Structure 1
Amino acid sequence: MKADSGDTTPGPRQDLKEKYLLKLLPVIKQRGFSHLRIDDIARYMDISKATFYKYFASKEEVIEQVVDMVVAYFYQAFTLLEDDSSTYLQRFQHIFGQAVLIASYLSDAFVSDLKQVFPALWERVKQVQQERQRQIQKFYQQGVAAGVFQPINPILLMLQNEMLLGSIMDPIFLMEHDQTLRALLYDYYELQKYQWLAPEARMKIDDAPIKEYIDKMAQKISLGMRLDGGPDLFRS
């Protein structure tokens, strides 16, 4: 077990809590949380049960703080989307990167448990998802008017991400189709470029940042979904 630092000041304390939560995330993403006991949670966090209770009052508090992390990521995503100091093409790439990370966090197992066990927490996630969808629709409509995006209903983009990204990240799907996660994410990004970008815009886009991001994400996801970089992994 890792030693407790003993630091209880608000900043370092919250940093430690987030560190412990990040260690638990791979398990929650892969298998949900309904089966977990406090002993299991402490073990995955690599701390003693006594240390667990120093930082968390209950299993319910752990799940609530995981949801807080997810919601905080959505709000960070809003900020990036509204940042008009970035070009439409840069924000298009941010949307793709955000969709990959959100699909990783909101796995079927986690969402299913959240809906059944903590419906009020699921409602928080659903509301912030809906707000993101509204912002993306507005952004794409502006991009169409600016001649950057093809005149396609942006709802299709969000539906496509929801339906495909989960399968792309499924190890069984990858094995059955003899594909690697990195290659499929690259190909999916290329598909979205050709679907959504006007030809002139497609010629101008710099793919280097998104390719670097895909490399990092594919490596982390393939090594057990342990996204140690946290929700700010794609921060500009």
Structure 2
Amino acid sequence: MFLKELQIVYPELYDTLKSTLNKREQQALQFYQDGKGKGIFNQINEKFILLQDDLLLREITNVKYLIYNQVSIQQALYDYYHLKKIQLFKPDKMALVDDSKIGPIIDHVVEKFNRSL
């Protein structure tokens, strides 16, 4: 709904946003393809990964979902991170992942999420 309204009211901003989102998608696809090519990631269709990310992140950042499932946004994001790690990385490559770096990122996202409420 936001994108439709943006397109009608501010078509130039909509075009800029759409272009930026497309660029982000292409970069993410390339990232997943590179990981598969290097033998680090499992052989999963990268377009499905992006679709799954989009749908899952929208749902776990929905306040109704969090309340209904009695989970904090912080816990949901940590669970999402672990899901992605297990899903993407081949078992013998898991040791390459430095889990200590995700904490500050999740804390930052949680802070922004809480400010938006």
TM-score range with shorter-chain normalisation? 0.7 to 0.9
Structure 1 regions of 5+ residues with no counterpart? Answer: 1-107, 226-236
Q: Does 1:157 align with 2:49?
A: yes
The Cα of 1:111 is off from its aligned counterpart by: 3.1
Find the counterpart in structure 1 of residue 95 from structure 2.
203
Matches within 5 A, 1:88-167: 110-167=2-59
Find the counterpart in structure 2 of residue 216 from structure 1.
108
| Higher fraction of helix | 2
Deviations 1:85-140 (A, max 9, x none): xxxxxxxxxxxxxxxxxxxxxxx6x4343133223321221122112212222222
Q: Distance in 1 between matches of 2:4 and 2:61?
A: 17
The Cα of 1:194 is off from its aligned counterpart by: 0.9
- How many residues align structurally? 117
Which structure's relative contact order is higher, taking Cα pairs within 8 Å and 6+ residues apart?
1
How much identity, in percent, do the aligned residues show? 32
TM (norm. structure 1) is 0.46
Matches within 5 A, 1:16-35: none
For the residue of structure 2 that corresponds to 1:223, the secondary structure is helix
TM (norm. structure 2) is 0.87
Instruction: State the superposition RMSD in angstroms.
Output: 1.8
Q: Does 1:179 align with 2:75?
A: no
Q: Tell me the amino acid that sits aligned with residue 217 of structure 1.
A: V
Find the counterpart in structure 2 of residue 90 from structure 1.
none
Structure with bigger gyration radius: 1
Structure 2 regions of 5+ residues with no counterpart? Answer: none
Q: Distance in 2 between matches of 1:178 and 1:148?
A: 34
Q: Distance in 2 between matches of 1:189 and 1:112?
A: 31
